[in-house]
Amino acid sequence: SILKKIRNTSDEGEEYVKDLATRFFRQQNIIKAANKILRMAGDGNIENYNQIVDTLNDALNQGMHEETGSGVFDALDETLSEEYRTTIPTGIDKIDETLEGGLAKGELGVIIGPTSFGKTSLTTAIAANAATCDANNGNGFKVLQIVFEDRLKQIRRKHLARITALNHTPVEAKDLSKPQYIQTVRDTINNYKDKEKLRKNLRIVRFPSGEKSASFIKNFIKKLANEGFKADMVVIDYFECLKMDKESNSESDWEKEGKTMRKIEAMAGDLNIAVWVPSQGTKDSLGADLVTMDKMGGSIRKAQI
């Protein structure tokens, strides 16, 4: 009867349970190691230093998966498969052409632009296209759009304005509610062919600016996956609104920016998602016809990553 119950138990949330259990057991090992270190250090014998370090490192490495590497010809069919990259199109022809289909799952795309150049409108269009495209067997992709500065109502209006443009009756987001447009807008929305696909595939979330870190975002994405919404693409609008990750209070803002961008890059690989992140340009980017990487504001490490 117990085995039958186990077989009939849903595996929903298994990754969360596995992660929780792993952290619990690793924490127990660290507590044991800490007690042992206190005993060794208690007599003040400096000769115990190396043993103390080894004990601590062993505890920290318990339960960690060790990468043993692979050979050139391992998983050859997978390596030579046309599906070696799962690309998610942006809907912008030249970008998709350059990226050979779009940004792929596991990859990080950074958009550099000056203040008020339209990064939210751009990422909103990218998010909507990914959610409603004919790729992925015609199902589109699951997209999480994270915003910090704009209100949810503003983001929804941007999406609705895009729908009117697709119907060749473009109405700007600020004009949607005006009497001369409102009925046309409602009719266009009701007749929008990808309405259900957009409803099912796109999730918009707003967090307070400067209060959420890349680590928090990663855990939030995992939480949504455990609840049934497993994102293929995540848009973080925008980098400077994140709380910067740091390891010590002595780190400079540039060091913290580099660490935060590196965590976003790692998140894309760990969770197998495509991630788009706009980032502010310098004052030299304001009047530039072409904004290149040297015009990224803040740490150059962001551009290097």
pLDDT single digits (tens) 272-297:
999 999 998 888 888 888 888 888 88
Under DSSP, is residue 262 helix (H, G, I), strand (E, B) or coil? helix
The Cα–Cα gap between 48 and 45 comes to: 6
pLDDT for res 157: 94
pLDDT for res 179: 93
Looking at the DSSP bridge assignments, the partners of residue 147 are: 206, 237
Indicate the pLDDT class of residue 248, thresholds 50, 70 and 90: low
Least confident range of 61-75, 148-162, 191-205: 61-75
Indicate the pLDDT class of residue 83, thresholds 50, 70 and 90: low
Report residue 174 as tokens: 């600020």
pLDDT for res 180: 94
Under DSSP, is residue 28 helix (H, G, I), strand (E, B) or coil? helix
- pLDDT mean over 250-276: 89
Task: Select from 106, 100, 149, 96 the least CA-distant residue to 126.
Answer: 96
Residue 25 confidence (pLDDT) above 60:
yes
Burial 128-161 (b: 16+ CB within 10 A, else e): bbbbbbebeeeebbbbbbbbbebeeeebebbbbb
Q: What percentage of the chain reaches a pLDDT higher than 70?
A: 95
- pLDDT mean over 260-274: 93
Report residue 141 as tokens: 């992709």
pLDDT for res 64: 65
